[in-house]
Amino acid sequence: MMKYFKISTALAFTALVLLFLYVEFAGRFIIGNSDKRMITHEIKTSEKLPENFTNFYNTLYPNALHENSWHTVLQLLIGQNARIKECPCKAAAFQLTPVLAINNKKSIDHFVVARYLERHYSQEECLSFNFSHFDFLENRKGISKLSQSLFKKDIKELQSIEIAEIVSLYENPVKNNRYRNPERAKTRAEYLNQVYINNLKNDK
């Protein structure tokens, strides 16, 4: 009995190691060179988010710009509330993976692409890509258009409550739309802003 247990444990450990190695390094092999160039172009040419926005995001979601998708998976495994969009490179992977020419795509390939992104780009770059390419609906693709549409301001001029509204729209551009659901949109933006303020106080 003990012999079979040891064999099972060894096989399980080997499988985990192989899975880890696949996730960590398969990206360089399953992503073609043309797709790699496309990814680099899309990320590097995305409008860089100003410091007020990245600071807000990293305070709202503590250390989101300093951790990686493994941390998100760990949070999910231990039952903590972690959304994919909080990890910028993992969110970027969900946008990019469907358009990549990967043979026999598997669900785990989203994770592989996320780790490839994290090994080659910063979370800040992924965050800029996400908000520059996100469709906020009503002909407002990208954060700059949204900022001008809602507040008639550049992103760097936004106050925390205004950034909170943008983040709430990033969460759900329909339900958190101020014109479609004004009360819900206001409540959600105020909630996110309060979380930001509380986290800011706790950091001091």
Q: 151-175, pLDDT tens digit by residue?
A: 999 999 999 999 999 999 999 999 9
Q: Which two three-digit tokens encode residue 19?
A: 């899975």
Distance CA 167, CA 164 (A): 5
Measured in whole angstroms, the distance separating CA 170 from the mean position of its chain's CA atoms is: 11
List Cα–Cα distances, 143 to 52, 136, 165, in angstroms: 14, 8, 11
Distance CA 136, CA 139 (A): 8
Domain segments of the chain: what residues? 1-53+62-126, 134-204
pLDDT at 60: 95
Phi, psi of 141 (to 5 degrees): -90, 120
Which of 19-23, 68-72, 76-80, 150-154 holds the top average pLDDT? Answer: 150-154
> Of the candidates 194, 195, 172, which has an alpha carbon nearest to the alpha carbon of residue 184?
172
Q: 87-124, pLDDT tens digit by residue?
A: 899 999 999 999 999 988 888 999 999 999 999 999 99
